[in-house]
Structure formats: C-alpha cells, structure tokens
Amino acid sequence: MTDDSIASEKWRPDTQEGGTAELPGAPGDVQEAVEALLDEVGVDTQPEPYLEASGLRGQIAIVTGGSSGIGRAVVLDLARAGADVAFCFLDDGAQSRLDAQSVARELRHLEVRCFFQACDVRESSEVKAFVRGAHETLGNIHILVNNAGIGRDRALWHMADHEWEAVVRTNLDGAFFFTRAVAPYLRAQEYGKIVNVASVHGVRSEFGLCNYAASKAGLIGLTKSAAVELGPRNINVNAVAPGYIRTTRLTDGVSPEVLDHAREESVLGRLGDPQDVSSTIMFLVSEAARHITGAVIPVDGGYLL
C-alpha cells in the first residue's frame, strides 16, 4: 500500500464494511449532522485535477520567432490561456516590424501583458539582453518555446558556408542560447516548461535539407540533454516535430509538387496548420504533461509512419 493510499484510507467515511466510520468523541447529534454533510458533499479520495492549458494565468512565457506562423499561433494561445508573453522577432525589414506590432496589439486586446523586441537568436549577447528585458518587464519566467527557425535548402555540394551557418546557428544555437539564458530563473524557482520546435526532418531527411535536418536533429539532442540536466529541478523539456505546416513561408517558398508529395506522404492526406502545432505545445506547457520530459512528439499527420 502506498503512502497516498494510506492517506486516502484515513479520510474515507466508509472504511468499515456495511457502515460508516465513527467520529471519536462526537455527540450523537453532531455525528449525525456530520454524516449528513458528508453524504451531501461526498468525499473525494482522488488528487486534485491537474491545471489545464487554460490555467496559465500568472505565468510568464517567452516565445522566439513569435510574430508569424507557428510562433504567432503559440503566442496567442498562451495569451488566451492567461499567460503574459514576451516574444522576439528577427528585424529583416519593415514587414517584420509590422507583423510584430500586429501581434502585440492582439495581445493587448486579450488583456495580458506583453514584451516584444527584435532579437537575432544567433547572437548570444542579444539573447541575454532580451531575456533580461523580459524578466525586468514581466517578472519571473515559467515557459520557453524555442520556435525561431529558418531554411536555406540546397544540395550539399552546392551549399555555401553562409547557408549552412545561418540555418544551424538560428535553429540550434539560438535554442541553446535561450535555454541557457532562462535556465537560472527556472532552476531558482524549481519549476519550468521548455518546448523546442524541431521537425520531422530531424528524424528523416529529404534531398537538399542537410543543413536544416542537421540543425533539427541537433535540437532533438539538445532537448534530451536539457531534460536530463534540468529535470532534477522540476523543469520539463520536450520537443514537437512538425511535418509540413501551412504557413506563408511554406506555401510561398515551396513548389506545388513538393506540397503535393507531402500530402501524399501524410496518412491523413493533408498539410498541417499552425494551430495543430500550437495545441500540442499548449499541452506540453500545461500541468497535464507534468510527467513528460525528453519526449519528441510528431505533429505530422502520420508523415513518419
């Protein structure tokens, strides 16, 4: 019998077969009143329900690459669940700034606090400055979603140094820099949730993706290593592995033939949506997933099957 079951037995009113337990020292009328009250309200011998994703009020979340695509969906879902959100974006032109401002307006409409700032996740100093600013503005950090990522597809014998470096440094170095920067806050409070956005191509690559596949495979390795190192401080570290997700970057940058092939490879026969990925991330940052760590969850419509 476990300690939990022992504790439960102490509080059960029907521990004696065919009757109710006596309440020592209680007069008869008080005894009857108490028994009537117990009959009315019942006795719960089960643990309290876990907090669902809708119970994130009071928590602070950081999302990298939060102004578009999957990142934007995650930012808004976290806000709808009550979390205050800090998100960064890569300032690569006027449109990127407009996208970030649009997300910030939506967060204000959802009545949560917001901190957003341009940040090149490849630069350790910028990452440290962003995390420090988020902490000073919003308070203690509880959730990190490493979403920022890019692709520069090309056959490896044609791939330039800068195409390799840009992808690996963004997708892998950026996640490491952010994880390292938030770790002291999470360890100090002995609580935290980290979710890395990897890819099915970190598990099974395709032609022309050697830089992308290597970065995402490395991100899966980082996920497992961080789970081992941070787990003793009650910090969960997991990854999602999206397949082909219908974002502007995908539909504008990938040929129709590749998208048709992706649909054929998916057992569900369709592309995913950013919300599909975000919903899985919301589960992983909730207390419903408190005993899951080091896991990589495909969100691919069966692409890997």
pLDDT single digits (tens) 228-247: 999 999 999 999 999 989 87
Q: Is 212 a catalytic residue?
A: yes
pLDDT tens-place string over residues 70-81: 999 999 999 999
- For residue 50, the 8-state DSSP code is P
pLDDT given at position 35: 64
- The span from the CA of 120 to the CA of 65, in Å, is 10
Catalytic residue among 185, 212, 244, 303: 212
Other beta carbons less than 10 A from residue 165's beta carbon:
14
High-pLDDT (> 70) share of the chain, %: 81
- For residue 257, the 8-state DSSP code is H
pLDDT given at position 262: 81
pLDDT tens-place string over residues 81-121: 999 999 999 999 999 999 999 999 999 999 999 999 999 99
SS3 44: coil
pLDDT tens-place string over residues 117-145: 999 999 999 999 999 999 999 999 999 99
pLDDT value at 3 more than 50: no
pLDDT given at position 246: 82
CA atoms within 13 A on the CB side of 99: 21
pLDDT given at position 54: 53
The closest alpha carbon to 183, from 137, 221, 232, 122, belongs to 232
pLDDT value at 285 more than 90: yes
Where residue 255 falls among pLDDT bands split at 50, 70, 90? confident
pTM recorded for the entire structure: 0.81
Least confident of 31-45, 97-111, 209-223, 273-287: 31-45
Domains of the chain: residue spans and CATH? 58-299 (3.40.50.720)
Q: Give DSSP secondary structure letters for 145-211.
A: EE---------GGG--HHHHHHHHIIIIIHHHHHHHHHHHHHHHHT-EEEEEE--GGGTS--TT-HH
Q: Residues 274-289: what's their mean pLDDT?
A: 97
Q: Tell me phi and psi for residue 241, to 5 degrees.
A: -125, 85
